[in-house]
Chain A
């Protein structure tokens, strides 16, 4: 194979010449690619939504009053990447919709609102610096929404210390009776959702239950309450599998579940985990799907699309139920909400997936929309953007006082406040009743999907039914 030294030297010389000639081209290409990729990176990391007026500007943080006419920022602190990446855009749809409706109604005390986002990647280790950066660099930070179970335990103390009001989507039970002054929650504790799933199993006549929950904090919090509740409800737990959300396949878990012959699988494993599991179970179960009972997190266009494409829309919709908080599906609050969201349809990065109407019942969209309206109305009622002054009004407006006029939108609330009346805000998520820990748990309904991905309400879960299966 060896040729003459002269030939080899000549070849080497040619190579050197080529290297020199193309060097600048390669460097130029490198820079172009680097710039393009950096732009892509910037686009998919923390970003401001562009649909709701001016974006937040960089400067020092402020949780007290801001300069007249300046922009108040609502920050969506949630996963925009990683396995729970569908959550952040869902909340951003709600934020953009609510903020645009508020701005169209004149804004808050002369201030326009804008949404921004901080990507937690669903990991406390990434969430804390993301929130630190948000606080340090966001002028007029008025409100934080999001803070899912993935990161809430890490970021809530930070935001609370910064005196930033937050409406969080975490159901973690540690927030049931620990007081954070600036923490508000319009979703139930996860253990109540576990009980709701067991009630659904009872209603559907399922006796043998398999659990398949992700190994993330947010999903694991359902497991122990579900195990206890299954026992109390006289059902049989036949399998209990933990799914590594970063794993590539779940064949063994699927095989164990199929071998246990469950009537239904209770699950929450977001990202590709649940769709992959469903696909593998179907494959190992002779093409038959085992009925699935999901949590309210499964009510999202992204989850539907991934699951339906994994096992077929007809099979998925015929075999899927989920608990969800009762939300309005008609009436003035629903109309205002759905119009607000439709106004931003197609404009929110990462939220162009699937059936957009799913957002009308997605808990993150509904309850964070309500949270933003409550906060904005509280500022108007307090005649101040100083957090210390408007924060107490959240519970006042949410829970109502005797003689308060019920309002269903920000515009209506402002009109009544300007008329000198007390108001109670009842949005698409229904009436709120904040307790001493600022929790407003709500009540449950049973949701399914149509084969086209539209959410259908097929039943309700009463407080008595929940109590019957509670530990």
Chain B
């Protein structure tokens, strides 16, 4: 029972980090039509930006903001310089997936060229440890969960109550129709890259805070979890991604208590395969709902 409660706690923190990344990923996909497999590599870049800020003697929480800003710019540039030209030429979605895979490797190797093969950690304490039964969470982990909840609420407000959010949803639903309705789709897309890039940077930094020690390849497997959460919830569906992140986060960590923990990611794969086979549109329905 104690291990079960502990694993629920682990699942919550994994879900919190995963939710930020998954919502960013799925919004990006819904609005821009790019299944950006370089997302995790950009997350890593964000983690290192926060690290460099932290190494300069600044609080890692300030580093989060720097990571968001840097990844926001990087994502916009990535789109303008790489993805948009391919899209203008009418490249197929699978071509863009391959291009994004290539970009993932280029970014990852680029980071490794700069930082080397060494793993690093932020200079920060974990704060007090809170225990309830077997559930164990530190102050920092609680803050990460709070950040995640705040981000989810902000995304909800953005999508439901702002003009930009409505424009994003309209662009995701039907770009041509949105244009004909007066929505400047290209501007919406660029803003989406900026927003989702910011979420990507935030996810990378909180991921690095959470795992304690990270390197240029630390996010590799996390991309699989992001994909699993996104496809579980329904690709392109932000609310689905939130639910998917919760299911995958809890599923992997709780299962680890009962199977060999190094096989826990199999659970994510199984969930992904099952969802693709049984309900390709995901838990909450169709593609392009944003």
Q: Could you tell me which A residues sit within 8 Å of B by CB distance?
A: 1-5, 7-9, 11-12, 15, 18-19, 23, 26-27, 29-30, 33-34, 37-38, 40-41, 43-45, 79-86, 88-89, 215, 241-244, 246-253, 255-256, 259, 271-272, 275-276, 279-280, 283-284, 286-287, 302, 305-307, 309-310, 349-354
Cβ-neighbour of B116 out of A15, A30, A83, A89 (below 8 A)? A89
Contact with A along B103-132 (1 / 0, CB 8 A): 001110110111011111101001001000
B190 CB, min distance to chain A CBs, angstroms:
11
Give the contact stretch, choosing among B90-98, B214-222, B272-280: B214-222
Known: A1-B170, A272-B218, A275-B213. A247 touches B112 (CB 8 A): no
Q: Does the CB pair A12–B179 fall under 8 Å?
A: yes
Q: List 18 A-B contacts (CB under 8 A).
A: A2-B182, A18-B186, A23-B85, A40-B106, A41-B106, A81-B112, A81-B117, A82-B217, A241-B261, A241-B262, A246-B217, A247-B264, A250-B261, A279-B211, A283-B138, A309-B120, A310-B212, A350-B117
Q: How far is the CA of A283 from the CA of B216 in the complex (A)?
A: 24
- Lowest 5 A-B CB distances belong to which pairs? A85-B117, A279-B212, A3-B182, A275-B213, A44-B113
Q: Does the CB pair A302–B117 fall under 8 Å?
A: yes
Cβ-neighbour of B117 out of A1, A29, A80, A246 (below 8 A)? A80
Q: Is the interface of B mostly helix, strand, loop or mixed?
A: helix
- The answer to whether B7 has its CB under 8 Å from any CB of chain A is yes
A220 CB, min distance to chain B CBs, angstroms:
11
Q: Could you tell me which B residues sit within 8 Å of A by CB distance?
A: 2-3, 6-7, 10, 14, 77, 80-82, 84-85, 88, 105-107, 109-110, 112-114, 116-121, 123, 126, 129, 136, 138, 166, 170, 179-186, 207, 210-222, 225, 253, 256-257, 260-262, 264-265
Cβ-neighbour of B222 out of A248, A271, A310 (below 8 A)? A248
Q: Does the CB pair B180–A81 fall under 8 Å?
A: no
Q: Is the interface of A mostly helix, strand, loop or mixed?
A: helix
Known: A40-B106, A45-B109, A272-B215. A30 touches B261 (CB 8 A): no
Q: Does the CB pair B82–A255 fall under 8 Å?
A: no
Q: Does the CB pair B217–A3 fall under 8 Å?
A: no
Q: Does the CB pair B119–A272 fall under 8 Å?
A: yes
Q: Does the CB pair B81–A353 fall under 8 Å?
A: no
Q: Does the CB pair B10–A249 fall under 8 Å?
A: yes
B170 CB, min distance to chain A CBs, angstroms:
7
